[in-house]
């Protein structure tokens, strides 16, 4: 019996098992890439009409009429570029007699910073669509929070979820299903190793192959010394 080919085969098989098993149990956590944002209507043009209307398309109309002036035509927030697209009197919201502390009767003070609503950062703030809806309902519009109808708040939520590249599902969003629509991406975790007290079959097979290789080496060594 020629032992060298057998030994080489056993060692090759053992190394192959090591290569196959090790990466599976030592995967480093990787952060998922942010969602790709679909394009929104640019400029002051209204969003296209969809027939029959959907919750998302109706939400785009609500956004256009109520939210766009502050949060931008592309959901980018009140950037300098977006303010430059507005009429000249509306480009400086903080001038005297507009939305600064010296506003006219019935007016309001406008914040200096208006965040983007279509961005990975916005999505990361809320775990699911229900949290987003509840926040919008309690805080927006800025000057008259809670002033929209229940239906309009759900339409706006569906639109923002969709605008951020997340499928809100086939059924219209409502209090019963919104919590199931996740917004915050899950972070990949390493594949857990086998719990203590148990050994994966792959490692058992590897140990058996290495043990058999050692046994063959011992037999070969004994034959050379004792000449049997």
Nearest to 207 by CA among 18, 76, 57, 79: 18
Distance CA 73, CA 117 (A): 11
Q: pLDDT over 70 for what percent of the chain?
A: 54
Q: Which residues of 132-152 are buried (b: 16+ CB within 10 A; e: fewer)?
A: bbeebbeebeeeeeeebeeeb
62, burial (CB in 10 Å: exposed 0-12, middle 13-18, buried 19+): buried
Distance CA 140, CA 59 (A): 14
* Predicted local distance difference test score (pLDDT) of residue 188: 62
67, burial (CB in 10 Å: exposed 0-12, middle 13-18, buried 19+): buried
**CA torsion through residues 40, 43, 47, 48, sign:** negative
* Predicted local distance difference test score (pLDDT) of residue 122: 84
- Residues 152-201 have pLDDT tens digits of 999 999 999 999 999 999 999 999 999 999 998 766 666 665 555 555 55
Mean pLDDT comparison of 8-12, 15-19, 61-65, 98-102, highest-scoring range: 61-65
* Predicted local distance difference test score (pLDDT) of residue 71: 92
Distance CA 66, CA 68 (A): 6
- Residues 112-152 have pLDDT tens digits of 788 999 998 888 899 999 999 999 999 999 888 999 999 99
For residue 101 the two structure tokens come to 């502390």
Q: pLDDT over 90 for what percent of the chain?
A: 35
- 3-class secondary structure for 153-184? HHHHHHHHHHHCCCCCCCCCCCCCCHHHCECC
* Predicted local distance difference test score (pLDDT) of residue 166: 94
Check: CB of residue 67 under 8 Å from CB of residue 73.
no
Distance CA 108, CA 91 (A): 16
* Predicted local distance difference test score (pLDDT) of residue 29: 39
Q: Which pTM does this prediction carry?
A: 0.61
């Amino acid at each position: 019996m020629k032992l060298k080919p057998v030994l080489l085969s056993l060692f090759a098989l053992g190394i192959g098992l090591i290569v196959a098993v090790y990466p599976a149990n030592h995967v480093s956590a990787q952060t998922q890439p942010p969602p790709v944002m679909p394009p929104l209507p640019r400029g002051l043009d209204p969003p296209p009409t969809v027939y029959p209307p959907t919750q998302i398309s109706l939400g785009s109309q609500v956004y256009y009429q109520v939210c766009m002036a502050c949060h931008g035509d592309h959901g980018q927030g009140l950037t300098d570029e977006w303010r430059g697209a507005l009429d000249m009197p509306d480009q400086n919201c903080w001038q005297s007699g507009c939305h600064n502390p010296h506003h006219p009767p019935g007016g309001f003070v406008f914040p200096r910073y208006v965040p983007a609503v279509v961005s990975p950062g916005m999505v990361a703030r809320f775990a699911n669509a229900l949290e987003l809806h509840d926040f919008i309902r309690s805080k927006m519009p800025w000057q008259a929070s809670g002033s929209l109808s229940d239906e309009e708040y759900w339409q706006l939520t569906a639109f923002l979820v969709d605008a951020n590249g997340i499928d809100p599902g086939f059924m219209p969003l409502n209090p019963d299903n919104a919590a199931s629509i996740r917004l915050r991406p899950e972070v990949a975790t390493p594949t857990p190793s086998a719990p203590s007290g148990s050994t994966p079959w792959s490692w058992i097979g590897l140990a058996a192959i290495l043990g058999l290789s050692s046994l063959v080496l011992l037999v070969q060594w004994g034959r050379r010394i004792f000449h049997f």
